[in-house]
Amino acid sequence: MLRESRIFEQERLEYQKNIDYAGIYPLGTFLPDEKHKLNQALVQMIPTSNTVLMYNTLRKNFGYVPFETNYFNDQTIYTLSGVSAKETVKRFYGVDAQITNMTGEFLDTAGIHMPHHTIQLVELTNDDKIFYYVLTGGKGSIEAKADELFNANKMLQEGLPFRIEQKGLAIDQMSIVELAIVMANDTFDKDWTINNPLHAHDLYAVMSDQVIDMVESTKWRPLKSFDNWTDAKRLGVVLRIKVL
């Protein structure tokens, strides 16, 4: 049976105000158009072939125009920046790292216009033995992406990012760290396992209402400082992992 978490389903339904997909939440994977420009301020992202196929299948079923029609009219809504991720790694680990890859999970037609429905993962390194990852994303999108990778048998373990307990909603930091690692495996052709030496900082709330915010690294607030962590629209985690 496929795993389909529903804790933040109501949050995901906000997307239907943008385009009616009868409750379907189509996150698609986008990768850099030109990798040699990763360390520039803005990076144009392009959809994977599987993403285009998914979007077009949905659009055909609902009678919408092909994805390419909208995409080529305005590609800029699928743009990311790694500037803040570099500053975040410097803040948390004290190193000047270079961006080596990035990926974005965008909703069809929404792109950067719905920040807490977007996931960004940036990979950085200042040494070929140590990699740094900065993941930011909304609660609903993190829940949906974790289910997607779990159902594709790509997750390393079976933990849920969010779960219901007797005391209320609980968040599992290591499941979100694992999501970052598995996304790197899935999109950056890494081969990280649970045996690789790993260090991760506590979860943070990202107090910015933009996906591209050049000073976002100054807006990370410890999640444990919230009376109710669900008040945070976006979550952030920064970690490092070493090559064995």
**Look-up: residue for tokens 């990076």?**
43
**pLDDT class for 1, splitting at 50, 70, 90?**
confident
* pLDDT tens digits, 99-110: 999 999 999 999
CB atoms within 10 A of CB 102: 24
Angle at 220 between CA 177 and CA 187, to 5 degrees: 35
pLDDT tens digits, one per residue of 145-193:
999 999 999 999 888 999 999 888 999 999 999 999 999 999 999 999 9
Tokens found for residue 80: 């990311």
pLDDT tens-place string over residues 110-120: 999 999 999 99
Question: Can you tell me which residue has the tokens 């598995």?
Answer: 182
User: How confident is residue 127, by pLDDT bands cut at 50, 70 and 90?
Assistant: confident
Q: Which two tokens stand for residue 104?
A: 């974005």
Extended beta strands in the chain, E state? 27-32, 43-47, 79-80, 98-107, 119-127, 130-138, 162-165, 168-171, 198-200, 204-206, 220-222, 234-242
CB atoms within 10 A of CB 139: 23
Is the model's pLDDT at 128 over the cut of 90?
Answer: no
